[in-house]
Amino acid sequence: MCSSDLYHLYQSDSRLNLSYLKRNHVAVVSDANDSPIVLMAEPNNATLLMEIESALGIDSYEIAVGIPTHILQYLGENVGGGSGPGDLDEILDEIGTSSDEDEELGDDLSDDAPAVVRLVSRVLHDAKRLNASDIHVDPEKGAPTRVRMRVDGVIRDINQVPASHHNAVIARIKIMASLNIAEKRVPQDGKLTFRMSGQPVEVRVATIPTVAGEGVVMRILATGGAMPIGKMNLSPRNMGMLEVMIKNPHGILLVVGPTGSGKTTTLHAVLGYLNTPDKKIWTAEDPVEITQPGLQQVQVVPKIGFTFANALRAFLRADPDIILIGEMRDKETAHAGIEASLTGHLVLSTLHTNSAPETITRLLDLGLDPVNFADACVGILAQRLIRTICPDCKETYLASDDDKAFLRRQYGESYLGELEVDFDADVELTRGTGCDTCGGTGYKGRTGVHELLGMSAELRGMVYKEASVPEMKAQAAKDGMRTLTQDAVLKVLKGDTDIAQIQILSGGGH
């Protein structure tokens, strides 16, 4: 059906507009002899065929069968590997031309009106296609509702929904997430699932009442298998150290950083590396996002008392080799994790702290015994995600004297020798100029920067004595630890990112 002598017949009749054809997965084409061919995904749909006959005034034609995705591509839809529910601007145009009666209804506008249903579906599909982590539906007083998405850690405006349809869109999302649509005064949390390219995509939904109306934030949960450990973009030193740490038969390894810094992805990459038939691996997570064959994965449900600490105790009776605990958020879980590691198991977990040395003091503040913790801990990996340069508009340029001075200062004069870069000569750096692929930003995707602290004998002694963070940081640096900022400098010199990302990192940006 892709030969160049086919052309559309439908444009002469408004009843067969592009929106109608895409919605029903139909294309009406003709061959070189002008004989009509109706290409459709459901050739047995007699009602649809009668509508097409009536609209075009034809009674003799051929029927051809096509896959929905191919039909949408033929109609000019950028389907991104899955059949989407129509173009966003097209749906908004449809909403915009709704009758005055609809405008007056406001709150009572039906939440299952086809345009609203397709609009919510399109927003979800677009978010997944753009690889967004979050979708924000933000009401504005006396203005259209803003739909924004966080892509590569930065929120960007995607579109607007007429204020008259705000409540219908919120109601539709609530119905999909099995929330109470009548309750608009208190926040609600739920989950919804939609399909893209035949694969289910899980979304966490949070509604929050604001002075302008109900706002919604949807977090798209990671799906699929684990990232290979080699794709984590660890520096050679960090990679070598991490491999040694995770080969320990027992001990505790912590991955730390703020929300959305890729801690779960890193832990699953480590588990993927360790996941061999001779190991029994248990994981307790909230929620279970990444699944791997060979792992026994458990979803904790704090509401009914099934907490991380309870799951950990259950695992210890289930003959484990390796245990992953989603988060050490309280003293009870931290204690249980240390006990498990001291009784001959490798325990992996996460914590919300800013740097590797700070993690030690945070856990001691929780009431852990310093001797037990120092003996159990094999390493702490702090990480952040920074934006990487778009490969389609990447260009190299010579660093200015200010750039070179900044990089030297950030890495530290006493460590410059290990970079093997002559800052007195020309230094080539990379930047993105902005193109259609990256939406004019110059960035596409993200990569990790890491700070890996190994528990040396000297550092262990300092933990026993509960030394201060600066003292432990100085000792860790002596042992070979490089900070997040130093690792970012390495990524700049390697051409992965630019100096602006170091400035955001060292300034504590998102």
Question: How does pLDDT run across 418-439, given as a tens digit for each residue?
Answer: 998 888 899 999 999 988 888 8
Query: How large is the angle between the packed helices 499-506 and 401-411, nearest 10 degrees?
Result: 40
pLDDT of 373 reads: 94
pLDDT of 95 reads: 52
Is pTM beyond 0.85? Reply is no
Give the 3-state secondary structure of residue 427: coil
C-alpha span between 249 and 246 (Å, rounded): 8
Residues of the chain with pLDDT under 50: 1-15, 79-84, 97-113, 508-510
Instruction: Give the count of alpha carbons within 13 A of 16, CB side only.
Output: 23
What is the DSSP-derived secondary structure letter of residue 230?
Answer: G
Nearest to 315 by CA among 344, 278, 290, 293: 344
Within 366-462, strands assigned E span: 377-389, 394-398, 428-432, 443-454
pLDDT of 100 reads: 38
Region of 186 please: left (phi>0), alpha (psi -120 to 50) or beta.
beta
